[in-house]
Chain A
Amino acid sequence: MAANTNDIAGQTSKGASVHARRLLSYLVLIIVTFLCLFWFYVLFINATRSHSELSAGFTPIPSTHFIDNWISLKNGTQPVFTGMLNSLFIAVATAALATYFSTMTAYAIHAYEFKAKKAMFTFILMVMMIPTQVTALGFLQLIGKIGLDNNAAALIVPAIASPAVFFYMKQYMDSTLPLSLIEAARIDGSGEFRTFNQIVVPLMKPAIAVQAIFSFVTSWNNYFTPALVLHDDAKKTLPILIAQLRSADFLKFDMGQVYMMIAFSIFPVILVYLIVSRQIVGGVTLGGVKG
């Protein structure tokens, strides 16, 4: 790619017009960057300001009440810490199940020849796009019957069947997992299950990491299903608490506390993202269409 870039660039240096276009594109990019970050900047500023400062109007300078807001949120009526622990537990468990079992499913399709293989692959691709919302009704009835209502397991266990994660794993295997390697393991007398756990899974680590992050974030942000499944305050996840904050008569609230709570649900994800953004941005492409 780099070589091509230079070739073409050499031929088209038309001077001024390129400069003008470059200037325009930087201008647009800066505006877009501003539009993306402005809201989070305001959120951060407002999370540091007290209720009375907030009612006085907006200023772009942070204030000194970050810790105060934090303490009042901690002592407030919303169980935010339990909420965060619940969200964290469900998201980690979902990510673990989704990646491990999707790798296993992809391996079954990738490494073996069997009659139902093609049909199975086609089937998974076809159901990949069907949203969980359309089966939510039956899902709620089902978990009511099998005693999983109001239970985090109802949100975790279904992650075993994650067609989108499977698709990514399959794509990744096609490009990186040679069948000869599996043959070699067989000749060395490794059992199929052991080969999968000790050779395939370690080789798939980069893909597993990317999909673990995606599954984690999706679950962390998920609002629709958890809101229908979890009823006890002690079991609720952060998005449900945010929605409750919205339905409470929020004008009576300490606004500093409200901003603090929003910041509390958003900033952990931003922090993680800043560390692993390269892998995430790269992962978007492979999961979508082939380039």
Chain B
Amino acid sequence: MNKKSKVVRYNKWGYIFLIPFVVAYLVFQMVPLVSTVYNSFFENYRAGLMQIGPNYIGFENFKTIITNGDLPTYLQNTLIMWILGFIPQILLSLLLGAWFTDPSLRLKCQTFFKTVIYLPNLIMASAFAMLFFTLFADSGPVNSILMQIGVLSHAYKFMSHVWSVRSLVATMNCLMWFGNTTILLMAGMMGIDPSLYEAAQVDGATSTQIFYKITLPLLKPILIYVMITSLIGGLQMFDVPQVLTNGTGDPMRSSMTLIMYLNKHLFSKNYGLGGALSVFMFIITGILSLIVFKFTGKEDKDGR
């Protein structure tokens, strides 16, 4: 009896230690989330000096952003730029991860290479985008180098073509994230039971066969985890295209992402449409998070 009451007395500290997190979460995440959803049902914006609303209009805001083509266009832009960056990113990461963990290769300077490939991940995305903007400017160093070595006869206007801007954004995203992905995949590859490899080698499997028949299938959960978290991150794409195109998403809004669009509404205080867009983003990322959660949850159980 005595012992039990003592345990209970300690365990109330569990709640006490949770207070800061819970309070901060409720105030700065939960309340804003609820009021964002609330806002999405109201007409509320400024036209010139006039304040329109807030008037309750039901699902009108959601209808507007879908039917006026903004949401589909910007979702498409975001996904295109994500895919353009993600495919080289995952291929490169798989390749490098396989090489780093391949015992028969015994690569030297692994620490150096890992340090280098992770470096771009820590760079301020806005500064990196500004750097790319100056480097790829019409009179910038990249054009200057390409003209010096004779690839181009006159400067290529990187900022005025749809696919060059998208490719630049994708390149930056790929550069910034492939190191991170490589390290995650390596952890997964090193977790694979080495006896499987030994058995395959005894049976005379080539390293290509081993990669496709053993590494890849066993890596599937981590690959899916990496893909979905990258998609969640990709949907939040903002800093790079925002600074690269100065918030315009030019040429012809072809590099305007969802969050850039949200940012526009937040600055112009169009809370109705901004709210609807936020709710849309919340639902998508919510579904994707649930999938990730299922994966990590399962691994947790296995791990214990």
A contact set with B: CB distance below 8 Å: 1, 4-9, 11-13, 18, 21-22, 25-26, 28-29, 32-33, 35-37, 39, 42-43, 46, 55, 57-58, 101-102, 104-105, 107-109, 111-114, 116-117, 120, 122, 124-131, 133-142, 157-158, 160-161, 166, 186, 192-193, 196, 217, 220-221, 223-224, 227-228, 238-239, 242-243, 245-247, 250, 255, 258-259, 262, 265-266, 269-270, 273-274, 277-278, 280-281, 284-285, 288-291
Contacts and interface: CB of A to CB of B under 8 A. Distances in A.
Interface string B223-240: 001000100100110110
A134 B11 CA distance: 35
A246 B239 contact: no
Contacts of B28: 139, 142, 157-158, 161
A107 B198 contact: no
A129 B228 CA distance: 10
Contacts of B202: 11
B263 A224 contact: yes
Interface of B: 7, 10-18, 20-25, 27-29, 31-36, 38-39, 92, 95-96, 99, 103-107, 111, 113-120, 122-135, 139, 141, 144-145, 148, 175, 179-180, 183-184, 186-188, 190-191, 194, 197-198, 201-202, 207, 222, 225, 229, 232, 235-236, 238-239, 242-243, 246-247, 259, 262-263, 266-267, 271, 274-275, 278-279, 281-282, 285-286, 288-290, 292-293, 295-297, 299-300, 303
B184 A266 contact: no
Contact of A242 (B12, B92, B124, B139): B124
Nearest to B31: A142
Nearest to B127: A265
A4 B103 contact: yes
A133 B33 contact: no
B96 A29 contact: yes
B148 A135 contact: no
B259 A133 contact: yes
Given A135-B29, A192-B13, A8 B103 contact: yes
Given A1-B190, A9-B106, A157-B24, A120 B124 contact: no
A4 B194 contact: yes
